[in-house]
Structure 1
Amino acid sequence: MKKIILASVLSLGLITSLSAYELNGELGVKWTGFKTEKKVPVSGTFNDIKLDIKSSDNLSMFLKSSSVSIETSSFESKNPVRNTSIISTLFSLATSKTIKGKILEVDEAEKKLTLEVTMNKVSKLVPMMYEISNGNILAKGTIDILDFDMKSSFLTFAKKCADLHQNKSFSDVNIEFTIPYK
């Protein structure tokens, strides 16, 4: 009888641990901006990303426990000239040195979430769709830089890049993040 009880407790523990969500690697963040009339995409990431997330047996609770802080000076596009241009113009305001994010809502049935993004002391709710595949949660959405009171820095950026962008820079930016879990 003791063996049956022990086996039941161990089995229950194993089943519970299999259904738990726990961070299994580093958060991936990707942005995609657009240039020229043809809306040519330019993508990259940030090198200094701090994620705080708590393990949970529930996907919604796992995601809503997360908060992220991104240093804008760590902007990375694999092009040093572009990095310097964007950091010195778009993120030149003292209040835009850090981007913060927090998942506020998760709709598991519709595979939607709401991310609160704070940049330049302005917070906006960003609707995102997500999918789960191969131990990763991938969420995608779009922000508009102008929504974060960054018109002057965006215009400075657009002017500085006018020749490279053929006089067309877009303020909308696709954002996505990947949370690896086990």
Structure 2
Amino acid sequence: MTKKLSLLLIAGLALVGCTTTTISPQPNLSYGIATTGDFSFLPTQGVATYAWRPDSAVARVSVNVDGEKYLKVIKDLIDKELANKGYVQVSSSQRPNMFMDFGIATESGMNDQEIFESTQISTGIKVQAKPGEEGEKGSVYVAAFAPVGDFPRWRVLAQGPTEGRIDDPNQQHEMERIITSMLNLIPSRAN
């Protein structure tokens, strides 16, 4: 019995030693997400609609970041995720079930204290670039509002490293995963 076990162990090690695997660098997933609020204001029946709040989408970013480009990419990702969940985008004049708003910031454009004062939400994470790397902490904030009222009924904040998020296809895929994670608690609607 011991001899058979030893032979199996040696054969297993030999097979492992012969296997070659190429490991591509994985995206940095060191980000934090904090969520508060609920969607009790949404109707449970019928088509679910949303609109963007007028003059929403704020970018408080460093001069090295193309804020408008980030805003467009993130808005498109939010629209895509809401559509995947069965929500229909309408104009604000069509009386949507909820209004959406969002903002982005880099640490040099808006620090954690300013983000908390503005959003009343915090992830509590620290982000530092590795030696030889550039980058800083980036934040994405998304809020859902009832059709009436100025205070968000649901909010989510994600924070993590920012460098190269939307220019590199792998990083763009990671950004899509982050947005999907952020919007995970938005209830799906029947299509």
By the TM > 0.5 criterion, same fold? no
Considering only CA atoms, is the larger Rg found in Structure 1 or Structure 2? 2
Question: What TM-score, normalized by structure 1, do the two folds share?
Answer: 0.30
Which of the two has greater strand per residue? 1
